[in-house]
């Protein structure tokens, strides 16, 4: 028995060590980015040190005062918030319709919506830009919102389809027997039970829109309409590498994502695991 127990302890210790190495490997670039953003510009080119300090806010001050970062942050926030709202509303409506009503070929519809992920974003961005030029909305945040929804909407429908499909219809019938209409049963029964899935869709939609570079690079050409990823990339010149401002800007891009996962991680993990099992 002692030999078996020792083997188990060694196995757990090995798994723990492997997990620690993977976590350190994954988090080190983020740690280095944040630490570098708080260093003085001249300290970035001296001998690197793993220990942070001395701290300096010069890179953040230059980023916010000299560049168009505040405008780009506002543009990204508008685009990402709009994409999240549109994706949630349309995903809930489509997923609920194909699971509660008789829709011919609904499985084929759900499957074909995921075909967009088979193609690289740049391959889809070029024809979309041609359509937006024809419609007269090119080089605008509206065009970027529509382009992002082509990626977030199929994913949202697929995740929520698994939730609504596994949810017993008897719950809604019981609510309607008690006097609720179909809309009332949907609002009072279906939506609260689907909250983890809806949060998961919102997180994915915000993440895809907030960090998108390919679509924003093709759709947006004017400086006043640029979003954060394109704005950060424009700081990299052929002869001038403003590493301090780049690290500070990248840290500010990641900050909303950290806050989102911090407050919504419980719903996100629950919705992701439930959607994977139920879908």
* Count of domains observed in the chain: 1
Q: For residue 206, what pLDDT band results from cuts at 50, 70 and 90?
A: very high
Sign of the CA dihedral with 184 first, then 186, 190, and 191 last: negative
Task: Please tell me the distance from the alpha carbon of residue 218 to that of residue 198, in angstroms, as a whole number.
Answer: 30
Task: Please tell me the distance from the alpha carbon of residue 56 to that of residue 225, in angstroms, as a whole number.
Answer: 30
Domain assignment of residue 88, given as a range? 67-278
Residue at 258 is within a domain: yes
Task: Please tell me the distance from the alpha carbon of residue 47 to that of residue 30, in angstroms, as a whole number.
Answer: 19
pLDDT in tens, 186-200: 777 777 778 888 888
Find the CATH number of the domain harbouring 210.
Answer: 1.10.3720.10
Residue at 99 is within a domain: yes
Residue at 252 is within a domain: yes
pLDDT of amino acid 239: 53
Residue at 212 is within a domain: yes
Residue at 39 is within a domain: no
pLDDT in tens, 16-73: 788 888 888 888 888 888 888 888 877 777 766 777 767 888 888 888 888 888 899 9
Q: Nearest to residue 100, comparing CAs of 32, 165, 52, 159?
A: 165
Cβ neighbors of 175 (< 8 A, separation 6 or more) are 184, 185, 188, 189
Q: What is the DSSP string of 147-204?
A: HHHHHHHHHHHHHHHHHHHHS-HHHHHHHHHTT--HHHHIIIIIHHHTHHHHHHHHHH
pLDDT in tens, 250-262: 888 888 888 877 7
Residue at 57 is within a domain: no
Residue at 35 is within a domain: no
pLDDT of amino acid 277: 45
Q: Are the C-beta atoms of 150 and 87 separated by less than 8 Å? A: no
Residue at 234 is within a domain: yes
pLDDT in tens, 154-189: 888 888 887 787 777 777 777 777 777 777 777 777
CA angle, 126 then 127 then 131, to 5°:
120
């Amino acid at each position: 028995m002692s030999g078996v127990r020792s083997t188990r302890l060694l196995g757990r210790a090995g798994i723990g060590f492997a997990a620690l190495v993977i976590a350190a490997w994954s988090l080190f670039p983020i740690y280095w980015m944040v630490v570098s953003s708080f260093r003085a510009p001249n300290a970035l080119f001296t001998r690197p040190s793993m220990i942070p300090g001395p701290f300096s806010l010069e890179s953040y001050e230059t980023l916010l005062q000299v560049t168009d970062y505040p405008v780009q942050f506002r543009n990204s926030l508008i685009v990402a918030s709009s994409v999240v709202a549109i994706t949630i509303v349309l995903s809930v409506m489509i997923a609920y319709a194909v699971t509660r009503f008789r829709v011919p070929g609904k499985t084929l519809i759900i499957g074909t919506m995921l075909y967009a992920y088979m193609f690289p974003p740049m391959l889809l961005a070029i024809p979309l830009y041609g359509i937006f030029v024809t419609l007269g909305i090119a080089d605008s945040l509206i065009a970027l919102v529509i382009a992002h929804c082509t990626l977030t909407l199929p994913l949202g429908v697929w995740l929520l389809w698994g939730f609504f499909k596994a949810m017993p219809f008897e719950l809604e019938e019981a609510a309607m027997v008690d006097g609720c209409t179909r809309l009332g049963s949907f609002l009072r029964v279906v939506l609260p039970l689907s909250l983890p899935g809806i949060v998961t869709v919102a997180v994915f939609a915000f993440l895809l829109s907030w960090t998108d570079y390919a679509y924003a690079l093709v759709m947006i050409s004017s400086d006043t309409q640029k979003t954060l990823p394109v704005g950060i990339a424009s700081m990299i010149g052929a002869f001038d590498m403003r590493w301090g401002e780049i690290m500070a800007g990248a840290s500010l891009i990641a900050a909303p994502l950290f806050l989102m996962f911090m407050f919504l991680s419980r719903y996100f993990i629950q919705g992701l695991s439930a959607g994977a099992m139920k879908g």
